[in-house]
């Protein structure tokens, strides 16, 4: 299986406010990409899964990512 790049958009709730997020992640499939989002927001913002709503998961090319690290890794 090849690693793919995904663009994940959604909303998370923190301190009674909603925050929109756009995140690029490399994963084997969409489920792994979603778990990456939950893992990152849980560790950085101390959020639970119930506070994170993933609205869209789209497969993109690595060169279209906003992250320079993903662009460089995907360009190999």
For 43-73, letters b (16+ CB in 10 Å) and e give eeeebeeebbebeebeeeebeebeeeebbee
What per-residue confidence (pLDDT) applies to 75?
Answer: 67
What per-residue confidence (pLDDT) applies to 70?
Answer: 86
What per-residue confidence (pLDDT) applies to 69?
Answer: 86
What per-residue confidence (pLDDT) applies to 71?
Answer: 83
Q: Report the CATH architecture of 4-74.
A: Roll (3.10)
pLDDT in tens, 19-75: 999 999 999 999 999 999 999 999 998 999 999 999 999 999 988 888 888 888 876
Nearest in space to 36 (alpha carbons), one of 75, 44, 64: 44
pLDDT band at residue 76 using 50, 70 and 90 as cut-offs: low
């Amino acid at each position: 299986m090849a690693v793919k790049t995904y663009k994940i958009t959604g909303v998370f709730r923190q301190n009674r406010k909603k925050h929109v997020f756009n995140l690029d992640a490399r994963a084997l499939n969409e489920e792994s990409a979603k778990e990456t989002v939950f893992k990152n927001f849980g560790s950085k913002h101390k959020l639970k899964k119930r506070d994170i709503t993933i609205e869209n998961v789209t497969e993109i090319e690595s060169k279209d990512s906003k992250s320079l690290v993903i662009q460089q890794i995907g360009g190999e």
